[in-house]
């Protein structure tokens, strides 16, 4: 039976010191496999290796057929979009219906929301009839209905699927296998994501226990070896014809060489045997390794502005594509935490862009993280961080570390991942004690531990928040006001406990 397999695959990007992927080995049968880990750990690199977009420095990859990669970014239209535009055969119509694509979407890529682009991107990939389909964050930007639509399309895919996502429920529901990328090594589990994490935790706890026991055994044998060494040298000092002192014996490092005196010989042998046992115990102790858990969690040290409001927009309307969206007065007070909700294409990002020049907040007191950050912008962001002073860079990298990414790997890269870029923007902005944090889809591209840390930090933030997200749990824990775009109007709700699906 055909298989997809990686055998001891290692890859290093040009100009980098550290490999992006090291000794990646696994074999899978048809079905979906989740690739999970911190931002920048090599997940996207692995997908590109599987699809032939990169060639490994060492090791080998065996594919069961054609492999297609759906990129994490949606800045540019996918290859094959033009062919899809003019393809109206039965299969193309079936894919359009399955992913709920409107007829004119392929022709107006640049006016689509990023969530709509994701569905179109996947449709174009499916039309290529791949044996291996690699999806990189397919649920980014996607609303609840779009997510369910994509999951149904994935479930009907008959080949080998590789999924990189921060959506735990999706990985659990559709994936048979999980590859966990860790700093020490890469682990493969024949289980969904949550079960794989539990198995990994059990394995780590067992290793911690074994390490503790091996350490205690080594210390015990080390003390025994020292006692026998002192005894051997004491006996030799007493038996010495030249009346060597104990100090001289220790200085010379003699522990009872073969002599006529059997007592000295026996004591020396026991000393050497005890030393050998201690050395073996030390080797066993050092051979037991496990992943170190770095301190996680961040604090967003924001200031609460003394101004009466950070935004005071009278009632009116604005254009979002072909729609004209009306609204009553929109205000942001210094302590407001606001969620902007609505389905894909409803105008959420358009609203943020309209508000940006109207904010009563200086640039140095504003953290603004857009929905998508291009590769060029990511590189500029990293280069700006590299130019910080040693102390400032250390503070920024500590923040990055506590959000689960490896600072050394990040600084060694030329283009940081989208998730790492978001962490960098947050970290550099925090040094200015911001009044307002604006994030368009803050959970997109970020790994699961980072999302949890960010959620806790935002819930304690002292300034104002304006967040666009489809993650209901995230919004429920971080905001108290909802601006819901429904149809052609923005509805404002304060401290509501009931959140409708968007």
Question: What's 84's domain CATH number?
Answer: 3.40.50.300
In a domain, 330, yes or no: yes
Residues 228 and 152 in one domain: no
Q: Is the pLDDT of residue 188 over 70?
A: yes
Residues 238 and 335 in one domain: no
337-341 sheet: strands from edge to edge: 316-320, 323-327, 489-494, 481-486, 337-341, 464-468, 436-440, 366-369
In a domain, 301, yes or no: no
Residues 206 and 179 in one domain: no
In a domain, 97, yes or no: yes
Residues 179 and 206 in one domain: no
Of all residues in the chain, what percent are helix, strand and coil, respectively (each to 5)? 45, 20, 35
Q: How far is CA 18 from CA 159, 187, 269, 420, 461, in A?
A: 33, 19, 47, 17, 36
In the chain, pLDDT over 70 holds for what percent of residues?
91
Residues 398-422: tens digit of each pLDDT: 888 877 778 888 888 888 888 888 8
Termini Cα distance of the chain: 43
In order, the DSSP letters of 309-345 are: -SEEE-SEEEEETTEEEEES-EEE-TT-EEEEE--TT
Question: Which residues contact residue 253 at a Cβ distance below 8 angstroms, ignoring those fewer than 6 apart?
Answer: none
The per-residue pLDDT for 247 is: 60
Q: Is the pLDDT of residue 242 over 80?
A: no
Residues 173 and 223 in one domain: no
**Do 357 and 313 contact (CB within 8 A), yes or no?**
no
Residues 215 and 149 in one domain: no
In a domain, 293, yes or no: no
Residues 238 and 174 in one domain: no
Handedness of CA 174, 498, 451, 195 (dihedral sign): negative
Residues 432-451: tens digit of each pLDDT: 789 999 999 888 878 777 88
- Collapse the DSSP code of 124 into the 3-class scheme (helix H, G, I; strand E, B; otherwise coil) and give the result: helix
Looking at the DSSP bridge assignments, the partners of residue 177 are 33
In a domain, 306, yes or no: no
In a domain, 296, yes or no: no
Q: Which domain holds residue 144?
A: 4-183
Q: Binning pLDDT at 50, 70 and 90, where does residue 259 land?
A: very low
In a domain, 245, yes or no: yes
Question: Who has greater pLDDT, 300 or 353?
Answer: 353
Residues 100-150: tens digit of each pLDDT: 998 888 888 888 888 889 999 999 999 999 999 999 999 988 888 888 999
Residues 220 and 262 in one domain: yes
- Of 154, 183, 212, at which residue does a domain stop? 183
Range 71-82 burial, b when 16+ CB lie within 10 A, else e: bbbbeebbebbe
**Do 49 and 56 contact (CB within 8 A), yes or no?**
yes
Domain count, the chain: 3
In a domain, 192, yes or no: no
In the chain, pLDDT over 90 holds for what percent of residues?
44
């Amino acid at each position: 039976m055909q298989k997809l397999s990686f055998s001891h695959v290692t890859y290093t990007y040009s100009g980098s010191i550290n490999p992006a992927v090291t000794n990646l080995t696994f074999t899978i049968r048809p079905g979906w496999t989740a690739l999970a880990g911190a931002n920048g750990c090599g997940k996207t690199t692995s997908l590109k290796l599987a699809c032939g977009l990169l060639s490994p420095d060492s090791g080998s990859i065996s594919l069961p057929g054609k492999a297609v990669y759906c990129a994490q970014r949606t800045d540019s239209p996918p290859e094959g979009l033009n062919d899809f535009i003019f393809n109206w055969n039965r299969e193309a119509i079936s894919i359009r219906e399955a992913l709920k694509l409107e007829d004119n979407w392929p022709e107006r890529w640049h006016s689509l929301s990023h969530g709509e682009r994701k569905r179109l991107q996947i449709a174009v990939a499916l039309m290529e009839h791949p044996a291996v389909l690699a999806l990189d964050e397919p649920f980014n930007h996607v609303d609840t209905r779009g997510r369910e639509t994509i999951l149904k399309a994935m479930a009907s895919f008959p080949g080998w699927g590789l999924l990189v996502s921060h959506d735990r429920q999706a990985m659990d529901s559709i994936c048979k296998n999980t590859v966990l990328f860790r700093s020490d090594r890469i682990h493969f589990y024949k289980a969904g994501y949550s079960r794989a994490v539990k198995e990994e935790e059990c394995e780590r706890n067992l290793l911690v226990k074994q390490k503790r026991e091996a350490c205690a055994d080594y210390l015990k044998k080390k003390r025994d070896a020292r006692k026998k060494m002192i005894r051997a040298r004491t006996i030799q000092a007493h038996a010495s014809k030249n009346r060597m002192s104990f100090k001289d014996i220790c200085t010379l490092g003699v522990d009872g060489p073969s002599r006529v005196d059997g007592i000295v010989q026996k004591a020396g042998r026991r000393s050497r045997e005890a030393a050998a046992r201690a050395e073996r115990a030390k080797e066993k102790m050092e051979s037991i390794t496990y992943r170190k858990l770095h301190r996680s969690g961040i604090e967003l040290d924001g200031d609460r502005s003394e101004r009466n409001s950070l935004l005071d927009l009278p009632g009116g309307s604005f254009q979002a594509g072909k729609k004209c969206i009306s609204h009553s007065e929109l205000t942001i007070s210094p302590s407001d935490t606001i969620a902007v909700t609505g389905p894909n294409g409803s105008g959420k990002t358009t609203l943020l862009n309209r508000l940006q020049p109207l904010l009563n907040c200086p640039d140095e007191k504003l953290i603004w993280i857009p929905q998508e950050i291009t590769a060029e912008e990511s590189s500029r962001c990293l280069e700006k961080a590299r130019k910080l002073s040693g102390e400032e860079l250390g503070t920024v990298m500590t923040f990055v570390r506590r959000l689960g990414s490896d600072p050394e790997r990040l600084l060694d890269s030329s283009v940081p991942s989208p998730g790492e870029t978001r962490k960098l923007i947050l970290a550099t902005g925090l040094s200015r004690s911001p009044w307002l944090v604006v994030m368009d889809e803050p959970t997109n591209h970020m790994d699961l531990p980072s999302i949890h840390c960010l959620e806790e930090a935002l819930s304690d933030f002292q300034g104002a928040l304006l967040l666009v997200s489809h993650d209901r749990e995230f919004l429920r824990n971080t905001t108290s006001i909802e601006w819901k775009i429904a149809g052609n109007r923005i509805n404002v709700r304060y401290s509501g406990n009931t959140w409708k699906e968007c």
